[in-house]
């Protein structure tokens, strides 16, 4: 490769002073010349040039600069941003020893320093080697030009703004005068064109820093980081070059609706490292793990049968979650919301944010579950219903629903009574309850059955309708003689019809077929006595025999005496009067 002699002379030839002494003909410092310029000329004449590697001590720190004692009359200055980590915290303190390089002077005469350890190429061949090896080199940003920056890397180079690593124009302007590390991405010897890239070096440094930081982190450690951003499922936390995910479920022991309810971007927080995935380079963080688990004391605070109060935190299809303590929710299952009313969805009874009272039905701290009952706290209406509606009592209420087998009546207090289709009317056989009743119609019915275990009350309407038996009982009294027809006769009993649809039960003595009383088992009848009895009946004739009590048989019309009239059960008992 042929190098231009003029480029070598102008670019890399060191400036050698003609004499180390000041000539008498040399011009005296004018008022326009600053003390810094005079001091700089003096140091250059005495061999103390820029880019000299020195060890210094941090003597003070201001919001903008770090001041370093480098053993000279004036202190050196470093930008404070150089010593801030990704979280914004300072990584340097007063008394620290630093390896620095003098890059020049500021307007007040203080030395400008750099901590850059990469050297600048001293000749064109060194620049070519750095380009071929894709190695980082040092350089000083000299000025802001159109489209980017001018950088002195031993030769004048151009750095596009997009490759500077600056986020905006203000950051780009701050780079002027700073020593940077960059990489040569274009080297045109013929046109003496050099293009450098700082961004690729910064990205490489960040990657190395992340790898180092990732290796330093350990599961279970508590670290401080800065919330970098929020998502629907959590927050990303910068741990100093490495991001970790703080999932919304690990933000607090109580349920968090959205991450912004707990943290905000820019917040500095302490978190616990829950899990590190080296392959995927993922870090799971936890915030709630730094506080005591409220479930650890739940078993001691809540017991079966306790009456508790809480806020409805959320509703589900199967029930409602009640916040008893921050981080401790109990569940009211939909089946435990009402004694009688069938609840289709929890929102029919409860609203989110509403305060409710409930009874603790069970506590399982190991599975983090507390079962609650809402209906138990309201009291069991069936306790009063059993007393209010005994068998035989008359109830009144509107028809709430009609089914194929009957209808339901609202008895109040969440209690329903059921009327079977066969107990609606006596007039005719119904195919469906709607033939006699309509929804909303108020009816009176008598309690036929109360089933406490199954929580059912059976009612009847037809039982309140007056019958011919009711009318007959109302018109007659016990002891009264009445006439009736025997419709059935059996051993010791007979069924007697006293009127149309009115029947009575009659107890009779057992008799022989011819009407005579049966002999006692102890009596022994012989042929002679039987012959004498028959002869006597023959001689007496029909008139004599009519005086004997005739055995009851179906179809006979006889006279009876009323023994019992049972109005509720519509039951009549009689006996033969003669």
Element (H, E) at 142: strand 136-145
Task: Please report the pLDDT score of residue 36 as a whole number.
Answer: 44
Instruction: Give the C-alpha distances (Å, rounded to integers) separating 207 from 117, 210, 233, 359, 535.
Output: 18, 5, 26, 57, 140
**CA 242 – CA 213 distance, rounded (Å):** 7
- 8 A C-beta contact, residue 218 and residue 272: no
DSSP-assigned beta bridge partners for residue 468 = none
Cα(504)–Cα(498) distance, rounded to whole angstroms? 7
Q: Which one has a higher pLDDT value, 241 or 438? A: 438
pLDDT at residue number 381 = 76
**Tens of pLDDT along 465-493?**
777 888 888 888 999 999 999 898 887 88
How many angstroms separate the CA atoms of 322 and 368, rounded?
Answer: 13
Q: What is the pLDDT, as a whole number, of residue 48? A: 41
CB 287 within 8 A of CB 271: yes
Percent of the chain with pLDDT over 90: 21
Residue 516 has pLDDT above 60, yes or no: no
| The pLDDT value given to residue 340 | 64
> From CA 483, how far away is CA 500, in angstroms rounded?
13
CB atoms within 10 A of CB 175: 20
**CA atoms of 312 and 351, how far apart (whole Å):** 7
Name every residue whose Cβ is closer than 8 Å to that of residue 48 and which is 6 or more positions away in sequence: none
Which of 264-268, 466-470, 518-522 has the least mean pLDDT? 518-522
Tokens 């069991």, located at residue: 380
pLDDT grade, residue 420 (50/70/90)? very high
Q: What is the pLDDT of residue 27?
A: 42
What confidence tens digit (pLDDT) does each residue in 369-402 have? 899 998 888 877 777 777 888 888 898 899 989 9
Q: Is the pLDDT of residue 283 over 70?
A: yes
pLDDT mean over 424-450: 88
Spatial contact of 149 and 161, defined as CB atoms under 8 Å apart? yes
* Model pLDDT, residue 10: 38
User: 27-31, 74-78, 469-473, 573-577: which has the minimum mean pLDDT?
Assistant: 27-31
The model's confidence at residue 286, banded by pLDDT at 50, 70 and 90, is: very high
**Mean predicted confidence (pLDDT) in 421-427:** 85
Q: Are strands 268-277 and 307-316 parallel, antiparallel or unpaired?
A: unpaired
For position 342, what pLDDT does the model report? 74
Three-state secondary structure readout of 66-78: EEEECCCCCCEEE
Torsion angles phi and psi, residue 454, rounded to 5: -90, -5
pLDDT higher for 390 or 2? 390
- In contact, 466 and 427? CB cutoff 8 Å: no
162 — pLDDT class (breaks 50, 70, 90): very high
The string of pLDDT tens digits covering residues 220-239 is 889 888 998 899 889 999 88
Q: What is the pLDDT of residue 493?
A: 87
- Three-class DSSP category at 504: strand
Mean of the per-residue pLDDT values for the chain? 79
The residue with tokens 């330093």 is: 216
**Residue indicated by tokens 């090896």:** 133
Task: Report the distance separating Cα 395 and Cα 388, nearest Å.
Answer: 9
CB-based contacts of 277: which residues, under 8 Å, 6+ apart? 283, 284
Pairwise CA distance, residues 297 & 288, whole Å: 16
State both tokens at 5. 């002699």
**Of 287, 292, 285, 289, which is closest to residue 325 (Cα–Cα)?**
292
Q: What is the pLDDT of residues 89-141, one digit of tens each?
A: 788 889 988 877 776 677 777 777 777 655 667 778 888 888 888 888 888 89
What the chain holds in terms of domains, given with CATH numbers, is 36-114 (2.40.50.140), 124-203 (2.40.50.140), 217-290 (2.40.50.140), 295-378 (2.40.50.140), 381-464 (2.40.50.140), 468-517+547-576 (2.40.50.140)
Q: Calculate mean pLDDT across residues 279-306.
A: 86
pLDDT at 529 over 60: no
The pLDDT value given to residue 52 = 55
């Amino acid at each position: 490769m042929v190098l231009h002699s003029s480029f070598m002379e102008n670019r890399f030839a060191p400036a050698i002073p003609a004499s180390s002494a000041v000539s008498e003909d040399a011009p005296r410092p004018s008022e326009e010349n600053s003390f810094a310029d005079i001091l700089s000329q003096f140091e250059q004449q005495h061999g103390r040039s820029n880019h000299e590697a020195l060890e210094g001590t941090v003597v003070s720190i201001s919001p903008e600069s770090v001041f370093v004692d480098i053993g000279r009359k004036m202190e050196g200055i470093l930008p404070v941003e150089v010593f801030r980590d990704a979280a914004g915290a300072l990584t340097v303190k007063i008394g620290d020893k630093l390896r620095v390089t003098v890059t020049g002077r500021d307007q007040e005469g203080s030395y400008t320093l750099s901590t850059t350890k990469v050297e600048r190429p001293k000749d064109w061949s060194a620049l070519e080697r750095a380009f071929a090896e894709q190695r980082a080199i040092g350089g000083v940003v000299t000025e802001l030009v159109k489209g980017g920056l001018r950088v002195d890397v031993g030769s004048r180079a151009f750095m596009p703004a997009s490759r500077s690593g600056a986020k905006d124009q203000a950051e780009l302007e701050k780079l002027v005068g700073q020593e940077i590390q960059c990489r040569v991405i274009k080297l045109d010897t013929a046109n003496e064109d050099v293009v450098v890239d700082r961004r690729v070096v910064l990205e490489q440094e960040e990657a190395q820093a992340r790898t180092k930081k990732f290796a330093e982190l350990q599961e279970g450690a508590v670290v401080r980081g800065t919330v970098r951003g929020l998502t629907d499922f959590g927050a990303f936390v910068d741990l100093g070059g490495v991001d970790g995910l703080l999932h919304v479920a690990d933000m607090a022991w109580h349920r968090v609706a959205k991450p912004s309810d707990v943290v905000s971007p820019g917040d500095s927080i302490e978190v616990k490292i829950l899990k590190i995935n080296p392959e995927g380079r993922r870090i799971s963080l936890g915030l709630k793990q730094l506080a005591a688990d409220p479930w650890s004391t739940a078993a001691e605070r809540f017991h079966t049968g306790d009456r508790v109060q809480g806020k409805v935190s959320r509703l589900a299809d199967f029930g409602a979650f009640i916040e008893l303590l921050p981080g401790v929710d109990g569940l009211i299952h939909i089946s435990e919301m009402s004694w009688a009313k069938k609840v289709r969805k929890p929102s029919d009874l409860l609203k989110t944010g509403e305060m409710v009272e409930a009874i603790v039905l069970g506590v399982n701290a190991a599975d983090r579950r507390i079962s609650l009952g809402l209906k138990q706290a309201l009291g069991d209406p069936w306790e009063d219903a059993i007393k209010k509606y005994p068998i035989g009592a008359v109830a009144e209420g509107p028809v709430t629903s009609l089914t194929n087998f009957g209808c339901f009546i609202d008895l109040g207090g969440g209690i329903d009574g059921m009327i079977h289709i066969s107990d609606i009317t006596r007039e005719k056989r119904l195919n469906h309850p709607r033939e006699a009743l309509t929804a909303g119609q108020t009816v009176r019915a008598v309690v036929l059955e109360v089933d406490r275990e199954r929580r059912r009350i059976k009612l009847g309407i037809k039982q309140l309708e007056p019958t011919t038996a009711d009318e007959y009982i109302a018109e007659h009294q016990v002891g009264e003689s009445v006439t009736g027809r025997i419709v059935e006769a059996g051993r010791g009993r007979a069924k007697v019809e006293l009127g149309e649809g009115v029947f009575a039960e009659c107890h009779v003595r057992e008799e022989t077929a011819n009407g005579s009383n049966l002999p006692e088992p102890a009596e022994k009848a012989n042929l002679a006595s039987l012959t004498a009895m028959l002869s006597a009946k023959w001689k007496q004739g029909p008139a004599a025999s009519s005086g004997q009590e005739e055995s009851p048989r179906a179809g006979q019309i006889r006279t009876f005496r009323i023994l019992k009239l049972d109005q509720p059960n519509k039951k009549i008992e009689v006996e033969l009067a003669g």
